[in-house]
């Protein structure tokens, strides 16, 4: 398998995300990080994505989503939101504080394995990389924004 694949266009990005999550399920990667200003253009609600996440989720797994806000995630990605309620013990959502949309990287990161990264989110241009330096760099970028985040988007809403 190639170490770097180019992403060109929305369909290419969606295919890269689906493929990465399918690989996570097959390979049993322990940790996944998804980062985007709002996840509006991700295929999170696709049946194939939810199926891969279901196969992936299990003991000692962690999925962390970082975004400016999660206001529209449930509406745009209802299938994923339902999955998230069932698997809330492996999912953490964190809101990024004090960042502007252009400061938030668009990344799917599997530490030690691969990174899907859009460098130009408007045109969906980016890469899927298995090059260790790219994977480490993406992890460092995620860590930098993680430090400016707080817990957000609870799996359930408790009323009084």
Residue of 64 and 97 predicted with greater confidence: 64
* Superfamily of chain region 4-151: Endonuclease Chain A (3.30.870.10)
pTM score, two decimals?
Answer: 0.93
Q: Note the pLDDT tens digit of each residue in 96-123.
A: 988 999 999 999 999 999 999 999 999 9
Q: How far apart are CA 6 and CA 124, in angstroms?
A: 10
Residue 149's pLDDT is 95
Q: Is pLDDT of 48 > 80? A: yes
Phi-psi region of 112 (alpha: psi -120 to 50; beta: other; left: phi over 0): left
Domain spans, the chain: 4-151
- At residue 18's C-alpha, the angle toward residues 119 and 8, to 5°, is 35
Residue 139's pLDDT is 96
Q: How far apart are CA 151 and CA 64, in angstroms?
A: 10
Residue 158's pLDDT is 54
Within the chain, strands assigned E span: 4-8, 31-35, 62-67, 91-96, 106-110, 114-120, 125-129, 149-151
Residue 1's pLDDT is 54
């Amino acid at each position: 398998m190639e170490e770097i694949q180019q992403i060109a266009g929305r369909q290419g990005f969606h295919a890269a995300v689906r493929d990465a999550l399918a690989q996570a399920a097959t390979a049993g990667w322990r940790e996944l990080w998804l980062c985007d200003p709002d996840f509006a253009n991700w295929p999170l609600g696709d049946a194939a994505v939810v199926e891969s996440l279901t196969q992936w989720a299990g003991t000692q797994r962690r999925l962390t989503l970082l975004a400016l806000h999660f206001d529209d995630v449930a509406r745009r990605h209802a299938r994923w939101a339902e999955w998230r309620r069932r698997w809330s013990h492996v999912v953490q959502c964190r809101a990024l504080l004090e960042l502007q949309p252009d400061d938030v990287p668009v990344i799917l990161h599997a530490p030690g394995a691969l990174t899907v990264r859009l460098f130009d989110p408007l045109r969906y241009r980016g890469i899927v990389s298995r090059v260790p330096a790219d994977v480490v760099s993406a992890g460092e970028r995620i860590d930098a924004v993680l430090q400016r985040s707080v817990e957000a988007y609870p799996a359930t809403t408790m009323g009084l």
